[in-house]
């Protein structure tokens, strides 16, 4: 693919920079260290929509956990705005793969949570308004007072999305945020997210298993290799926006070739991952 | 109701218009039945039980071992609301007015104080053990040893220290009731979902806030199940303590059962036993509904 972006030439300054980063988990029971990602070099630019794809277990979630500040790198560095990431920050918000909504809180209380622990400088009524409108944006109006166990899986996921976006974070980390949604809702939310990216210049790191979703949304798509994960290839998606408002991005002349290329890479890695198990 | 229905049908004939009405009537009956069926079934069940008891006891014909249901009910009435004890010799006949109520109150006091102490002490211990590796490492050998040990085996030693008064009763209730509270609280803290903690961290919660806003609410239903266990275990503790301490007068329900049985007063024995069963039932059902109210998200199935 072309290395010089033609359409997204407005790519901003580096926001998140991972250099030779190796990170993993301590397996307490077995007293072993598990390397999830090794030697990662990846830059997220301001205003960019970066998509991560790769086989299950390759370390995508681990990467955004490191960006969020939930994990510290074992080797190498990861910086945000030039500063090493030491902990979590109001700038960086996250949609969790397993939703992670608090079961004892109503939809509204869950969405309001980000305002509870940090001072955003908003008044109580402003917060109220923002929460209300965010709940509306994800189509949960009328369910403000429902508890998560009274909702469907897709609705719970939308609570997680609303909670992550309600503070209008500078960087949105989204871990398969549309995974549990029906095709219709998914398309609506994809289009909304694209609008947000275009209007507000939102920076997004987005994980998906869907190649179509990766191409529809991403400015760049990073393919992570199987465990221990590393960046196999980064692909530019030079298709002008809006891609989703008009619909039928699949008819774009570049689409087919991109899809085929990505598919080849991902399949390769998935098969490689299987081989590694045997 | 049936009259109205037939009248209605006769005026309207078998027309379609009458059908909703018919269905309506059916529905109401079904609804009433659906609401009432469990109490009704229970009532029938209990009546059959009482009848079988009466009949079986009459055939068995040994009132010291198995009194008839009606004798038991008589003793129950005298023991609770009085007005019928005709004995003049108080020292030899246990069945005095209000004797069950008095002993019930004795039991409840010891049991209640012991339980409250177990809960108030057990929850913090469980929280600390769950939250701190050090506390866990230091305390868990004791907790696991004591909770596995048949607590009653400690009785002879406890007697040396505490004598045979109320103190040993409290001790036995606490020893039986506190461990389920500690262990369940500990388990709740330990199993708090990591992703919920991560979410709280991402949104800026401090360690303290994570504990308050995630770990504690997550642990609460575990604590409730711990208390539920403590209620039944503690009841065993208090009854055994009352068996063993042997007061001269009004030593609690356990004492009353023991004495009444030894004195071959079958009716009173069973009446006291019934009172104990009702108490246990009320407590268990009470905490069951408490659990459903406190943590509706953990309700697996409804009955
Ligand atoms: N909390 C954890 N403790 C120990 N090991 C973990 C933990 N989370 C993930 N891992 C390991 O790290 C590796 C990478 O996991 P990660 O969740 O980042 O994968 P992923 O790419 O997000 O996969 P998926 O697409 O299935 O979500 C996995 O092999 C897993 O075994
Ligand atoms: Mg993942």
Tell me the β-bridge partners of A40: A21
CA distance A169 to B165: 66
CB-based contacts of A130: which residues, under 8 Å, 6+ apart? A122, A166
**Between chains, do B297 and A116 touch, taking CB under 8 Å as contact?**
no
* Per-residue pLDDT tens digits of chain A, which is 278 residues long: 444 444 444 578 999 999 999 999 998 887 889 999 999 999 999 999 999 999 999 999 999 999 999 999 999 999 999 999 999 999 999 999 999 999 999 999 999 999 999 998 999 999 999 999 999 999 999 999 999 999 998 899 999 999 999 999 999 999 999 988 888 888 888 988 888 788 888 899 999 999 999 999 999 999 999 878 899 999 999 888 888 876 677 778 888 899 999 999 988 888 876 554 43
Residues of A in contact with B195 (CB under 8 A): 96, 98, 100
Going by C-alpha positions, the residue among A183, A126, A127, A136 that lies closest to residue A158 is A136
**What is the side-by-side order of every strand in the sheet holding A203-207?**
A92-95, A171-175, A203-207, A49-53, A220-224, A231-236
Q: What is the CATH number of domain B99-294?
A: 1.10.3720.10
Question: How many Cα neighbours within 13 Å face the side chain of B172?
Answer: 31
Superfamily of domain A1-82+185-278: P-loop containing nucleotide triphosphate hydrolases (3.40.50.300)
Q: Collect residues with CB below 5 Å from ion ligand 2.
A: A 61, 97
State the count of interchain CB pairs (< 8 A) between A and B: 60
Which residues make Cβ contacts (< 8 Å) with residue A278, sequence separation at least 6? none
Q: Give backbone dihedrals phi and psi of B95, rounded to 5 degrees, phi first.
A: -75, 80
CB of A59 sitting under 6 A from ligand 1:
yes
Of residues B281 and B289, more confidence is placed in B281
Among A54, A15, A49, residue whose Cα is nearest residue A230: A54
- The pair of structure tokens assigned to B55 is 């009949």
Round to whole Å and give the CA distance between B155 and B296: 40
B220, burial (CB in 10 Å: exposed 0-12, middle 13-18, buried 19+): middle
| pTM exceeding 0.90 | no
3-class DSSP assignment, residue A272:
helix
φ, ψ for residue A6, nearest 5 deg: -100, -40
Mutational pocket test of ligand 1: of A60, A96, A210, A226, the residue with most ligand atoms within 8 Å of the beta carbon? A60
Task: Encode B269-291: b = buried (16+ Cβ within 10 Å), e = exposed.
Answer: bbbbbbbbeebeeebeeebeeeb
Interface predicted TM-score of the whole assembly (ipTM), two decimals: 0.90
Note which residues in 53-72 of chain A have CB less than 8 A from chain B: 65, 68-70
The torsion angle over the Cα atoms of residues A241, A245, A246 and A252, rounded to 10 degrees, is 40
Nearest-5° Cα angle at B9, B8 to B12? 85
CA distance A77 to A40: 9
Domain boundaries, chain A: 1-82+185-278, 92-169
SS3 call for A44? strand
Q: φ and ψ at B188, to 5 degrees?
A: -60, -45
β-partners of residue B6 are: none
Inter-chain touch B203–A114, beta carbons under 8 Å: yes
């Amino acid at each position: 693919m072309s290395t010089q972006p033609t359409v997204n030439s407005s790519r901003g300054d580096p926001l998140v920079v991972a250099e030779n980063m190796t990170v993993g988990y301590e397996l307490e029971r077995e007293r072993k260290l598990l390397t999830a990602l090794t030697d990662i070099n990846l830059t997220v630019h301001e205003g960019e929509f970066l998509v991560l794809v790769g086989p299950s277990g390759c370390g995508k979630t681990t990467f955004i956990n490191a960006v969020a500040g939930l994990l510290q790198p074992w080797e190498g560095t990861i910086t945000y705005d030039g500063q090493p990431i030491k902990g979590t920050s109001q700038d960086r918000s996250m949609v969790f793969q397993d939703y992670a909504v608090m079961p004892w809180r109503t939809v509204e209380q869950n969405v309001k949570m980000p305002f509870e622990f940090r001072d955003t400088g908003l008044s109580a009524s402003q917060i109220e308004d923002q929460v209300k409108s965010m709940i509306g944006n994800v189509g949960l109006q009328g369910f403000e007072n429902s508890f998560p166990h009274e909702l469907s899986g897709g609705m719970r996921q939308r609570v997680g999305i609303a909670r992550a976006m309600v503070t209008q974070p500078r960087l949105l980390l989204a871990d398969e945020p549309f995974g549990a949604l029906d095709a219709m809702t998914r398309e609506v939310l994809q289009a909304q997210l694209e609008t947000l990216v275009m209007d507000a210049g939102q920076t997004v790191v987005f994980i998906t298993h869907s190649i179509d979703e990766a191409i529809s949304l991403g400015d760049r798509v990073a393919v992570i290799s199987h465990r221990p994960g590393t960046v196999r290839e980064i692909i530019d998606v030079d298709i002008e926006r809006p891609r989703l408002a008009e619909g039928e991005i699949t008819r774009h002349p570049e689409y087919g070739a991109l899809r085929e290329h990505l598919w080849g890479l991902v399949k390769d890695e998935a098969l490689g991952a299987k081989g590694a198990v045997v | 109701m049936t009259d109205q229905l037939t009248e209605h049908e006769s005026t309207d004939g078998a027309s379609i218009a009458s059908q909703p009405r018919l269905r309506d009537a059916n529905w109401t009956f079904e609804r009433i039945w659906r609401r009432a069926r469990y109490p009704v079934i229970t009532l029938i069940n209990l009546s059959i039980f009482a009848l079988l008891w009466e009949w079986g006891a009459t055939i068995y014909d040994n009132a010291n071992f198995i009194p008839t249901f009606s004798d038991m009910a008589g003793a129950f009435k005298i023991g609770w609301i009085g007005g019928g004890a005709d004995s003049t010799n108080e020292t030899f006949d246990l069945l005095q007015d209000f004797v069950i109520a008095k002993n019930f109150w004795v039991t409840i006091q010891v049991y209640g104080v012991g339980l409250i102490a177990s809960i108030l002490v057990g929850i913090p211990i469980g929280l600390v053990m769950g939250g701190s590796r050090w506390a866990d490492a230091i305390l868990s050998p004791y907790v696991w040893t004591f909770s596995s040990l048949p607590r009653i085996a400690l009785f002879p030693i406890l007697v040396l220290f505490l004598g045979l008064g109320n103190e040993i009763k409290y001790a036995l209730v606490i020893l039986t009731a506190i461990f389920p509270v500690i262990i369940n609280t500990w388990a709740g803290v330990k199993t708090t979902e990591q992703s919920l903690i991560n979410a709280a961290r991402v949104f800026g919660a401090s360690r303290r806030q994570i504990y308050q806003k995630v770990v504690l609410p997550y642990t609460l239903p575990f604590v409730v199940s711990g208390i539920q266990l403590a209620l039944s275990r503690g009841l065993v503790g208090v009854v055994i303590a009352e068996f063993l301490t042997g007061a001269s007068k009004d030593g609690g329900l356990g004492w009353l059962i023991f004495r009444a049985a030894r004195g071959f007063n079958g009716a009173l024995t069973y009446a006291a036993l019934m009172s104990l069963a009702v108490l246990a039932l009320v407590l268990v059902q009470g905490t069951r509904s408490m659990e459903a109210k406190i943590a509706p998200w953990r309700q697996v199935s409804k009955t």
